[in-house]
Amino acid sequence: MMEATVTIPPFERFYAEHRDEVYGLLARRLGRQRAEDAFQETFLRALRAYPSLRHGEYLRAWVLTIARNVAVDAFRRERPTAELEEQAELPRRPAYAELEHLTDVLPPTERAAVVLRYAYDMPYAAIGAALGSSEDAARQAASAGVRRLRREETT
């Protein structure tokens, strides 16, 4: 039966499981006041991307990646020139924890695109939705990120 192969949980379960952790992360980074808008934005992006998810694995890491990206956006809007301190809030899973570490050098959007693409195997449509941009922009960000990583490697 088709239903048996669907592994994406109903959004309500996904949301109920991760909302407190997402809220905590955003509150630590942005303060409670600003965390509220960011919280809403994070789960709206997740909801937009949800139908294009191909499997239900690593959903925690996925939504935390979206949340970090939303926090970066919020930070930029307020202090366009400020240096971003990237706190290590990595999901405890070696495969992409490693990829997240290797991509430390990338600008936030490229980093998120590379991680979502190559660590979570997400389609570009879903990445675009998760990053609040388009499928094309997501593809460009991922390939720019990969090029930048290659350059880093050879220098």
Cα 81–Cα 142–Cα 153 angle in degrees, nearest 5: 85
C-alpha 128, offset from chain centre: 10
Query: Of 43 and 75, which has the nearer Cβ to another protein?
Result: 43
Query: Residue 38: which of 60, 59, 69 has the closest Cα?
Result: 69
Query: Of 27 and 137, which has the nearer Cβ to another protein?
Result: 27
Query: Of 41 and 100, which has the nearer Cβ to another protein?
Result: 41
Minimum separation from the CB atom of position 115 to another protein (A) = 23
Show contacts with another protein in window 24-63 (CB under 8 A): 24, 27, 36, 39-40, 43-44, 47-48, 50-51
* CA distance linking residue 4 with residue 81, whole number of Å: 50
Angle between helices 59-78 and 11-49 (to 10 degrees): 50
Residue numbers at the binding site for another protein (CB under 8 A): 2-3, 6, 8-13, 15, 19-20, 23-24, 27, 36, 39-40, 43-44, 47-48, 50-51
